[in-house]
Amino acid sequence: MGRLFILLVLPLLLFGGSVKPFKWNNGESFLTFLERKKLPLSLYYNLDKDDQTLTEDIPYSANCQMVVNEKNIIRQILIPVNDELQLQIYLTKKNRYAMKVTPIVSEEYTETLYLPIKSLPYDDILKATGSKNLASVFVKMFKGKVDFRKGFREGDPIIIVYTQKYRLGKPFSMPEVHGAMVGINGKKVTVYRHKDGRFYDEKGAQYEKFLFKIPIKNPRITSGFTKSRFHPILHRYRAHLGVDFGARPGTPILATGDGRISFVGSSRGYGKTIKIRHSNGLTSLYAHQKSFRSGIHNGSKVKQGEVIGYVGNSGLSSGPHLHFGMYSGSTAINPLSVMKKTTEGFSGKERKIFIAIRDKMNKIFKKALAAKPVRKPYFDFHETYYVDPDTFKPKPF
Ligand SMILES: [Zn+2]
């Protein structure tokens, strides 16, 4: 105990400050956050319009980190925007606050988890790994294929092969599951992730059915989705958390899928915006509108293809276009990754690639069934790091 105390407390004593993890509040704007922390509002106003808009995409409950010195003066705040970029506020050597969009330095590990079922897969995975994300991805993968509440016997195996990112010593963001298997009453059910990021069964039939449609007629993409891209001219990291469709002002905007309006209103960056909540935990966003269709209000039900508003140039926009975003929970995902697929099943080269992925996974499953590699729980320790705003490298204090 004594040694543990020294290990945990000594770095803090040396540094004479502390790390305060916090979660981004739902509905908090970047400006109100700066006000609350008594930080200069110029940190926001000095950003260009793209980065100002980016602050509206901080996912609520994002795991943020604040480092303060012994006088409780903020030395650093890290606010992840997604799993690749963060907003970094820091005290410079001249004792002024500055802010940068910096890449998140993370380590990635691919792990194989073997678990005998004890209660419910969700609970068992959560207990073994501490990762709610992994548990929910697993359940989603088998949705409609396996009923975990009945049919299996205690001790039936679960295997998951996944890549997890670690930031400052802790797992963060969604794990990328490459394949999973459950043994249910002696029968094996498997799911494989193809290179398109979607899940398929052993025959290559799709597990997930996406029923979303492009929200505009005659779509012309002017800017694609990117989580993090280094801008060679601006010499900065940028993100674009949606897809832009160039269109004339007044062009009708169509609901991408059935759902319920969860937001109609205005923000500084996105301008006139509508959000639609869909049944599968996804939310779509339509920004920079000229006007909303009359009768559209919070809580109203919409059908796929229904007109919800009209293309415009409101907010921080540099010309009429529709910015179309898609969110899983509060995390931005590429909207095109959940659009309806035109072809079903694999053929030709695509089929060969899928079979290679499937066979490789099957080998890993077989090995795991024999070796039973149970993943140890994640270690939860204090983050005592400072991220260098120039090299982006985290340094322990
Ligand atoms: Zn955009």
91 pLDDT more than 70: yes
Q: What distance in angstroms lies between residue 330's CA and the mean position of ligand 1's atoms?
A: 17
Residue 342 C-alpha to ligand 1 middle, in angstroms? Answer: 25
Q: How far is CA 225 from CA 182, 222, 237, 323, 334, in A?
A: 34, 10, 14, 10, 6
Four-point Cα dihedral 307, 210, 158, 123, nearest 10: 10
CA of 49 to the centre of ligand 1 (A): 11
Average pLDDT score over the chain: 87
d(CA 38, CA 126): 38
**What's the pLDDT score for residue 384?**
58
| 3-state SS, residue 35 | helix
The vertex-129 CA angle with 379 and 103, nearest 5°, equals 65
Whether 134 shows a pLDDT value over 80: the answer reads yes
Ligand 1 centre to CA of 206 (Å) is 30
361, pLDDT greater than 90: yes
Query: How high is the pLDDT of residue 199?
Result: 87
CA 131 – CA 36 distance, rounded (Å): 31
> What is the arithmetic mean of pLDDT over 285-304?
96
What's the CA-to-centroid distance between 290 and ligand 1, angstroms?
15
37 CA from centroid of ligand 1 (Å): 29
Single-letter amino acid code for the residue at 6: I
| pLDDT of 1 over the 60 cut | no
Q: Range with the lowest mean pLDDT among 211-220, 243-252, 285-294, 366-375?
A: 366-375
Helices assigned H by DSSP within the chain: 2-15, 30-36, 42-45, 49-54, 121-129, 132-141, 348-371
Q: Please count the helices (runs of H) and the strands (runs of E) in the chain.
A: 7, 24
Please give the distance, rounded to the nearest whole angstrom, from the Cα atom of residue 242 to the centre of ligand 1: 6
Instruction: State the Cα–Cα distance between residues 221 and 208, nearest whole angstrom.
Output: 25
Does the pLDDT at position 49 exceed 60? yes
Give the distance (Å) from ligand 1 centre to CA of residue 222: 9
CA of 30 to the centre of ligand 1 (A): 19
State which amino acid sits at residue 205.
Answer: A
pLDDT-based confidence at residue 4 (cuts at 50, 70, 90): very low
Question: pLDDT tens for residues 139-167?
Answer: 988 887 888 777 778 889 999 999 988 87
- How remote is the CA of residue 307 from the centroid of ligand 1, in Å? 20
The residue to which tokens 């997890």 are assigned: 164
Distance 270 CA to ligand 1 centre (A): 9
Percentage of the chain lying above the pLDDT 70 cut:
90
Distance 10 CA to ligand 1 centre (A): 46
> ∠192-144-189 over CA atoms, to 5°?
45
Q: Is 34 in a helix, a strand, or coil?
A: helix
Nearest Cα to 162, choosing from 178, 149, 148? 178
Amino acid 375: pLDDT = 64
Higher pLDDT, 252 or 62: 252
Q: What pLDDT score does 209 carry?
A: 67
Mutual angle of helices 121-129 and 132-141, in 10-degree steps = 150
pLDDT tens digit string along 258-268? Answer: 999 999 999 99
Q: What is the mean pLDDT of residues 330-357?
A: 83
Q: What is the pLDDT of residue 383?
A: 52
Average pLDDT of the residues in 270-275: 97
pLDDT single digits (tens) 177-232? 999 999 988 889 999 999 888 888 888 877 666 779 999 999 999 999 999 888 87
**394 alpha carbon to ligand 1 midpoint, in Å?**
30
* Residue environment code for 157-175, b if the CB has 16+ CB neighbours within 10 A, otherwise e: bbbbbbebbebbbbbbbbb
User: Closest by alpha carbon to 82, among 261, 280, 229, 233?
Assistant: 229
pLDDT of 363 strictly over 90: yes
Dihedral class, residue 22 (left if φ above 0, else alpha if ψ from -120 to 50, else beta): beta
- For residue 178, the CA-to-ligand 1 centroid distance in Å is 30
Q: How far is CA 132 from the centre of its chain?
A: 13
In the predicted structure, residue 8 carries a pLDDT above the cut 50: no
pLDDT above 60: residue 22: yes
CA–centroid distance, 76 to ligand 1, in Å, is 29
133: CA distance to ligand 1 center in Å? 27
Report CA(385)–ligand 1 centroid distance (Å). Answer: 33
Whether 62 and 79 have beta carbons less than 8 Å apart is answered as yes
Per-residue model confidence (pLDDT) at position 70:
85
pLDDT at 289: 98
Exposed/middle/buried for 180, CB within 10 Å: 0-12, 13-18, 19+? buried
- 3-class SS string, 345-391: CCCHHHHHHHHHHHHHHHHHHHHHHHHCCCCCCCCCCCCCEEECCCC
Extract the tokens encoding 76: 């650093």
> How far does the centroid of ligand 1 lie from the alpha carbon of residue 145, in Å?
37
323 alpha carbon – ligand 1 mean position (Å): 4
Going from the Cα of 338 to the center of ligand 1, the distance in angstroms, rounded, reads 18
Q: What residues have a C-beta under 5 A from ligand 1, the ion?
A: 242, 244, 323
**Residue 6: pLDDT band by 50, 70, 90 thresholds?**
very low
Which residues does 30 contact at the CB level (< 8 Å), separation at least 6? 44, 55, 56, 58
Whether 27 has a pLDDT exceeding 50, the answer reads: yes
CA of 325 relative to ligand 1 center, distance in Å: 8
Name all domains of the chain by residue range, CATH numbers in brackets.
2-104 (3.10.450.350), 107-208+343-371 (3.10.450.350), 221-338 (2.70.70.10)
Indicate if the pLDDT at residue 377 is higher than 70: no
